[in-house]
Structure 1
Amino acid sequence: MDTHTPAPDRRTFLKTAVASLPLLATAGTMPLAVWQVGSSTAKSRLLKLSCNLYSFNEPLMSGQMSLNEVLKFCSDLGFTAVDPTAYYLSNYPALPDDHYIYQIKRAAFRLGLDISGTGVRNDFTIPDLTRRKAEVTLVQKWTDVAARLGAPVIRIFAGTGKELPVGYKREEVTTWVVDAIRECTEYAARKGVMIVVQNHADFIQTADHILDIIRQVNSDWLAVNLDIGSFKIGDPYQQIARVAPYAATWQLKENLFVNGKEVETDLTKIMQIVRESGYRGYLPIETLGKGDPREKVPAFYEKVKKAVAVSE
């Protein structure tokens, strides 16, 4: 007697698979915040500390430390990942060759480090259209590098200056920024890399500024690189909480600005905001100011690590 059960045909299999994965059917229309909702246990497991390598800017730029030495330092300390800005790679703003990119990727992998992101310094508030197009091209070229590095995000700016170009209103300049970022996100989507806009106390100074850009571009491939130290107007914790649901990565800093006054970051408050936003992913830290990063980074790493653990 033949007891073999026939395998389902392809149509039956697909119906069963789709029925068992209802979330995937609507994934393209889900707001970012919905993707981030999960159990507290899952969120605890999925928060990982990364090091934004601007923390090592002085020794990297002066040649006191090589990029490989910084990677080794971060691995030994216990970081899960690193975030190297593009100008720490060879020949920036010219593109490094693939051999160089893959050597970095291999070195990080062998040290047990993910590359949580990279970034460029661009300006989309330049009045001259030709120059703005060149800035878009810069971002697109380095998006290719991010993809080859295995970086899930590339950090960009809206504009690098606090003052508006002479003779232009904010609404008009915002249109330039939105158009340029939309072009970047359309390109990045084809490469599987997310564009993340950093609030950097420049053209973007408030939560309203960055949320306006995010909403106008309206792309699944655009999110925020939430820099907690760059809201310098009003209460930064309120602004961080408003932007947090739109964050795909962060920059945690030792200090932030309360009504324009620099004070030590309340990491307990920050972690509460992180948890309440439903965020999952990397929490890059960045130390600034005077002092040896080989001392400052470990000290801040331990503080953030403790705050993450206490918040679980």
Structure 2
Amino acid sequence: MSSSKNRREFLRQMGMYTLGMGMLPAVLAACGGAGTGSKDGKDSAAAGLAGAETAKELFFKISLAEWSFHQALFAGKMDHLDFAIRAKNDFDIHAVEYVNQFFKDKAKDKTYLGEMKKRCDDNGVKSVLIMCDGEGDMGDADVKKRLQAVENHYKWIEAAAFLGCHAIRVNAAGEGKPEDVAKAAADSLSKLATFGKDHSIEVIVENHGGISSNGEWLSGVMKTVNMPNCGTLPDFGNFCLKHTQPENNTPEAWAKIKCLDEYDRYKGIQELMPFAKGVSAKSHDFDAAGNETQTDFKKAMEIVKNAGYTGYVGIEYEGVNLPEDEGIRKTKELLLKVGRELA
């Protein structure tokens, strides 16, 4: 589906879906932050992207978002525990961003988390953040549900701290008047960030569909919260405020979704960058020259650079026209190209 579809909505639409099922949700849903990118020891084409020396010239670092593998993971063709190793061995990316959907029942399982940590440590891979979905909305109008959502995220903050991440990504969604949702979200985020502070974890919000894809609205929420460990995760490709609904849950139906009301992505990125503690380089398709067809990466990265940001930019490929591996490589190649031009 288009970048307008966020993971929160994806989970609701696919509520019956479990990781144990053999279905393949090749949807362009979801949307959507610390590492380096250089050569790929296995693939000669990827090896030509750049060496470690080139990566050092960039004003940012490259990480890989696990959602880039959502098709393989949901289909059971890839194990979550192999994510970090694949990031390094297949793409020479040394920082990863997890998605809690793929180890949803393991948040408190120290043995499992310990294995994740060991695989990262053994391979020199940095755990950057955990993208959290399905735990409730920060802007829920129902106070009881909203406070429960806050508490539901405590375990992910603890898991993130255990893994060595710097943040968790949450959803500032909610139904109602924008000002009411903003007030509720600010209150929830303040409570969650207070808990996160005790664990040295940042709480970050992505433009993730609905009102949260309004950059002015979300930046206003950040100003209200006004806490150093609460910020944003600007996503290049998820600024759709309203979209059509799919006819069914097939990949083909999701791919036909159209955005009915889209916020200016470059304006949105600029509004969110002052609070950014991560950046998501969303990609779908590429033209013959290797440019992303929906987002001008150079324009977007210029905004990122002008904001003084030097942290992680996470590759998040969610296209369907290219295999996931190829989409990741093309996104990395484009980031390196743009990064060199802006260096």
Q: Into which bin does the TM-score normalised by the smaller protein fall?
A: 0.7 to 0.9
Distance in 2, matches of 1:204 and 1:179, equals 15
Counterpart in the other structure of 2:42: none
Structure 2 gap segments, 5+ residues each: 1-55, 241-261, 286-291
Which residue, out of 129, 137, 140, partners 1:123? 137
- The answer to whether 1:236 aligns with 2:256 is no
| Residues 132-147 of structure 1: pairs in structure 2 closer than 5 A | 132-147=146-161
Amino acid corresponding to residue 67 of structure 2 in structure 1: Y
The alignment yields a C-alpha RMSD, in angstroms, of 2.0
Q: Secondary structure at the match of 2:68?
A: helix
Counterpart in the other structure of 1:294: 325
Amino acid corresponding to residue 305 of structure 2 in structure 1: R
Q: Secondary structure at the match of 1:123?
A: coil
Distance in 1, matches of 2:165 and 2:331, equals 24
Counterpart in the other structure of 2:105: 91
- Indicate the larger mover: 183-192 or 286-295: 286-295
Which residue, out of 189, 194, 197, partners 1:186? 194
Which residue, out of 230, 251, 274, partners 1:245? 274
Aligned residues: 257
- The answer to whether 1:208 aligns with 2:239 is no
Report deviation, 1:56.
Answer: 0.5
Amino acid corresponding to residue 176 of structure 1 in structure 2: A
Distance in 1, matches of 2:303 and 2:264, equals 14
TM-score (norm 2): 0.70
Structure 1 gap segments, 5+ residues each: 1-42, 257-261
Distance in 2, matches of 1:273 and 1:203, equals 22
Which residue, out of 197, 203, 214, partners 1:195? 203
Q: Secondary structure at the match of 1:204?
A: helix
Report deviation, 1:255.
Answer: 5.0
- Say if 1:53 and 1:82, in contact at 8 Å, map to a contact too: yes
- Say if 2:63 and 2:96, in contact at 8 Å, map to a contact too: yes
Amino acid corresponding to residue 243 of structure 1 in structure 2: L
Counterpart in the other structure of 1:308: 339
Rate the CA distance shift 1:234–1:203 in 2: closer, same or farther, 3 A. closer
Distance in 1, matches of 2:309 and 2:178, equals 31
Counterpart in the other structure of 1:21: none
Report deviation, 1:44.
Answer: 4.9
Rate the CA distance shift 1:209–1:255 in 2: closer, same or farther, 3 A. farther
TM-score (norm 1): 0.77
Distance in 2, matches of 1:67 and 1:268, equals 32
Distance in 1, matches of 2:155 and 2:104, equals 14
**Structure of greater Rg:** 1
Which residue, out of 262, 285, 289, partners 2:315? 285
Q: Secondary structure at the match of 2:237?
A: helix
Report deviation, 1:69.
Answer: 2.9
Q: Secondary structure at the match of 2:77?
A: coil
Rate the CA distance shift 1:237–1:255 in 2: closer, same or farther, 3 A. farther
Q: Which has the higher contact order (CA 8 A, sep 6+)?
A: 2
Q: Which structure is higher in helix share?
A: 1
Rate the CA distance shift 1:188–1:44 in 2: closer, same or farther, 3 A. farther
Distance in 2, matches of 1:284 and 1:90, equals 21
Q: Spell out, residue by residue over 1:19-38, the C-alpha distance to the aligned partner (whole angstroms, 9 max, x if none).
A: xxxxxxxxxxxxxxxxxxxx
- Say if 1:90 and 1:96, in contact at 8 Å, map to a contact too: no
Q: Spell out, residue by residue over 1:16-75, the C-alpha distance to the aligned partner (whole angstroms, 9 max, x if none).
A: xxxxxxxxxxxxxxxxxxxxxxxxxxx956621001100101211221011233322210
- Say if 2:239 and 2:268, in contact at 8 Å, map to a contact too: yes
Sequence identity, in percent?
A: 25
